Amino acid sequence: MAMGKNLSVQLLDVRKKIGTRVLFEKLNIVVNPGECLAITGPNGSGKSTLLKIIAGLGQPTTGAVQVWYNGKQLDLEERRACLGLISPEIILYTDLTGSENILFFTRLRGLRCSQDQIEEYCKTVGLAIYKDQLVHTYSTGMRQRLKFALMLAMQPVLWLLDEPSSNLDADGKMLVAQIISNGLAQKATVIIATNEPWEAEYADCKIELV
Amino acid sequence: MPTAKSSLFNGIWAIFIKDGLCEFRTRYAVSALFMFALISLASISMSIGIVSLPVELTAALLWVILFFCAMAGLSRVFVQEQESGTIVALQIYGSGQAVLFGKLLFNVIVLLSLTLLVIPLFIIFLNVDIYRWPIFIVILIMGDIGIAAASTITAAMVAKSQGKNALFTVLTFPILLPQFLGSISATTKILANIEPNASEIVFMAGYNVVLMIASSILFDYLWYD
């Protein structure tokens, strides 16, 4: 997909019920390019579930999530092709090095990414000297940084961030803040599920789950 | 800034290279497959001594060994992704067709490599004479592609159903049965120094094509729903 950034996400009366428990209902909102939606709420309130529904990895019980790109509604395959997801559920290959992971996923998405570009992305997230080490030697914080390097390499139009600064130190949190600011400046559509007040500060609109 | 290019073949190749690299570093599937084949052939050889088996039984033994080798290792391509959690990243960043055919290509190459190792052992341990090598090689390639194609799609179904390996053989065998019987029949003729009918080879090739088309259609439902 061409990466001119003109993508909006629309939630239409979205409701999710698991067993007898209604996680959320009557969610209606539109997130436009360059805007940020924050999804907040206590643990177990359904933040990650809602993010997975927006990513197309799950279905709402009723209602719909529509993703529009240049006036065209995207199907599930097209939606996945234009998003980047940072989540505890995204697990990278521990038998590959950091740079091999980036190379693999960019190739898989049909992008060409040179070793210089990979080095640059790894340097941006502070992994330059570790990029040729196997991921199973990485700490959880380094793995989280690698997910951001992958996000930078993918340059998605839709950013879905689930607790993006989890496991990161103070430097890492500043890095996340910088990356989110840059993404919004480049007109990416950003949706953050978070409990961190400072992450929610980027939001133009908010969904508070209970 | 990354640049977009034709993605399906690059995606297939990326999956193949990634699986190859991970396999090279862990050697899980290759070791399991090769040890299974070696132990089976050695056990049969020691049991029968110097007696030559009937060609029908010998041909069936070859394909049973290859089939159960496949069952021992080929499901890993999807089950491992599910168990390690990497399947979510694959679902987000990869197209279904690229993943399916990348995994299929990997399984075909693994099974062909295994066959390359098994055939000399098969000839030595079971005291077999092969008379028509070119056709025999074609039959092996067709049979291996069929086993790999059936294994790949059933591995995807098993991984999705959380049933893991318990269902894998049960699901794969009926799908593969027509191809399996064709392979045994054609191999029997080769071992008896009889030219197999061209229709048998065409049937095997055709069955492989149908299997891959059906897999391709089914896989999108597994991947996106």
Q: Which domain holds residue B194?
A: 8-224
What pLDDT does B163 receive? 59
Average pLDDT, chain A: 92
Residue B166 lies in a domain: yes
Residue B1 lies in a domain: no
Nearest-CB residue to A89 (from B15, B18, B88): B88
Residue B173 lies in a domain: yes
The tokens of B152 are what? 């790949």
Which position has the token pair 């396999």? B23
What percent of chain A shows pLDDT beyond 70?
A: 98
- Are B2 and A113 an interchain contact pair (Cβ–Cβ within 8 Å)? yes
Does the beta carbon of B162 lie under 8 angstroms from any beta carbon of chain A?
Answer: no
Q: What is the pTM of this model?
A: 0.90
Report residue A12's pLDDT band, with 50, 70 and 90 as the boundaries: very high
| Angle of CA points A71, A74, A79, to nearest 5° | 130
Q: Hey, what long-range contacts does B190-195 have (CB within 8 A, 24 or more apart)?
A: B190/B59, B190/B130, B190/B131, B190/B132, B190/B135, B190/B136, B190/B139, B191/B55, B191/B58, B191/B59, B191/B128, B191/B129, B191/B130, B191/B131, B192/B55, B193/B131, B193/B132, B195/B132, B195/B135
Residue A25 burial (10 A CB sphere; 0-12, 13-18, 19+): middle
Q: Hey, what long-range contacts does A54-59 have (CB within 8 A, 24 or more apart)?
A: A54/A9, A54/A11, A54/A160, A54/A191, A55/A79, A55/A80, A55/A83, A55/A85, A55/A160, A55/B92, A56/A80, A56/B224, A57/B88, A57/B91, A57/B92
Give the DSSP H/E element, type plus range, for residue A179: helix A170-185
Strand duo A83-86 + A111-112: pairing: unpaired
pLDDT digits (tens, 9 = 90+) for A84-136: 999 999 999 999 999 999 999 999 998 989 999 999 999 999 999 999 999 99
pLDDT digits (tens, 9 = 90+) for B105-138: 999 999 999 999 999 988 988 888 888 899 999 9
Alpha-carbon distance A112 to nearest alpha carbon in chain B (angstroms): 5
What pLDDT does A1 receive? 45
Q: Average of pLDDT values for A4-21?
A: 89
How many domains, in total, are found in chain B? Answer: 1
Shortest CA distance to A153 belongs to which of A108, A206, A184? A108
Residue B2 lies in a domain: no
Residue B3 lies in a domain: no
Residue B140 lies in a domain: yes
ipTM of this predicted structure:
0.89
What pLDDT does B6 receive? 60
SS3 assignment, position A121: helix
Instruction: Name the closest residue on chain B to residue A53, using Cα atoms.
Output: B225
Interface of B with A in 112-131 (CB under 8 A): none
State the angle between helix axes of B168-191 and B198-224 in degrees (0 to 180), rounded to the nearest 10. 160
Alpha-carbon distance B85 to nearest alpha carbon in chain A (angstroms): 6
Strand duo A7-18 + A21-31: pairing: antiparallel
- Are A85 and B10 an interchain contact pair (Cβ–Cβ within 8 Å)? no
Q: Do the Cβ atoms of A193 and A181 come closer than 8 Å?
A: no
Does the beta carbon of B2 lie under 8 angstroms from any beta carbon of chain A?
Answer: yes
Q: Average of pLDDT values for A75-84?
A: 90
Instruction: Name the closest residue on chain B to residue A153, using Cα atoms.
Output: B2
Does the beta carbon of A108 lie under 8 angstroms from any beta carbon of chain B?
Answer: yes
Which position has the token pair 């279905």? A59
Shortest CA distance to A101 belongs to which of A39, A67, A146, A57? A146
Exposure b/e, A97-113, CB count within 10 A at least 16 = b: bbbbbbbbbbbbbbbeb
Low-confidence ranges of chain B (pLDDT < 50): 1-5
Residue B127 lies in a domain: yes
Nearest-CB residue to B86 (from A3, A91, A154): A91
Does the beta carbon of B35 lie under 8 angstroms from any beta carbon of chain A?
Answer: no
Residue B198 lies in a domain: yes
What pLDDT does B1 receive? 37
What pLDDT does A4 receive? 56
SS3 assignment, position B159: helix
What is the C-alpha to C-alpha distance for residues B150 and B164, in angstroms, rounded to an integer? 16
Shortest CA distance to B158 belongs to which of B69, B73, B79? B79
- Are A108 and B3 an interchain contact pair (Cβ–Cβ within 8 Å)? no
What pLDDT does B126 receive? 85
